[in-house]
């Protein structure tokens, strides 16, 4: 069944929606970020007036390239030395895709590098892809790094992978085995 947005919502749509709340929520989740990051994530253009309206309640920083980064006033800024544990991101996760400059999250990768649907993070940066291979009685996590990884990083990633597999296999038969394997970089 098809319908219009107005009928679904039960009211007329506003002609000029203000993106202020959207920008605050984005920054609350992904800040500090550039205006270009907000545009890349939202697909919206013409955000300058809204950012200027919000400026009194936002914090402003500069990155290593001199670009302005905006954040909500109470946004957490962890110490730069805080360790970031390995993490497996799901299909098309915003953490990897919501940046105009993906070099801020994709380690050593050129801007045009295509990200696979499922990626993993090492020290807060995308370092490769992963996939689940299901067999009759085995569930395998295949990890494909973009480049060689240190032994310490491989062990930490394999441990996190086993936690992911344990979670995924929770509803499976008791005889389901799980394994982690690394594909060639």
Q: Is cis: bond before 78, omega within 30 of 0?
A: no
Instruction: Map out the domains of the chain as residue ranges.
Output: 17-72, 87-182
Strand pairing report for 87-89 and 68-72 = unpaired
151 three-class SS: helix
Cβ-contact 183, 116 below 8 angstroms: no
Strands 138-145 and 125-134: antiparallel
- For the entire predicted model, the pTM comes to 0.73
pLDDT of res. 176: 79
Rounded to 5°, the CA angle 20-94-57 comes to 25
What distance in Å separates the CA atoms of residue 181 and residue 133, rounded to the nearest whole number? 10
Token pair for residue 54?
């919000």
Contact present, 157 and 86 (Cβ < 8 Å): yes
The answer to whether 40 and 94 are in contact (CB under 8 A) is: no
Is residue 179 exposed (0-12), middle (13-18) or buried (19+ Cβ within 10 Å)?
middle
Residue for token pair 């957490």: 76
What's the average pLDDT block by block, 10 residues per block, for the chain (185 residues)? 85 80 93 92 91 96 92 90 91 77 67 68 90 90 92 95 90 80 86
Question: What architecture is domain 17-72?
Answer: Orthogonal Bundle (1.10)
CA atoms of 78 and 85, how far apart (whole Å): 14
């Amino acid at each position: 069944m098809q319908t219009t947005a107005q009928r679904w919502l039960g009211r007329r749509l506003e002609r000029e929606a203000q993106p202020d709340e959207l920008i605050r929520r984005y920054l609350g989740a992904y800040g500090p970020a550039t205006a270009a990051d907000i545009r890349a994530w939202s697909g919206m253009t013409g955000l300058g007036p809204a950012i200027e309206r919000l400026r009194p309640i936002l914090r402003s920083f500069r990155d290593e390239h001199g670009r302005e980064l905006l954040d909500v006033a109470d946004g957490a800024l962890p110490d730069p030395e805080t360790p970031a544990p390995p993490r497996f991101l799901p299909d098309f996760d915003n953490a990897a895709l919501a940046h105009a400059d993906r070099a801020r999250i994709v380690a050593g990768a050129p801007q045009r590098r295509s990200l696979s649907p499922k990626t993993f993070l090492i020290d807060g940066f995308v370092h490769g892809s992963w996939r689940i291979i299901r067999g009759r009685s085995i569930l395998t996590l295949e990890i494909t790094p973009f480049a060689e990884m240190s032994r310490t990083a491989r062990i930490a990633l394999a441990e996190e992978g086993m936690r992911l597999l344990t979670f995924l296999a929770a509803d499976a038969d008791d005889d389901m085995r799980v394994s982690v394997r690394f594909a060639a970089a």
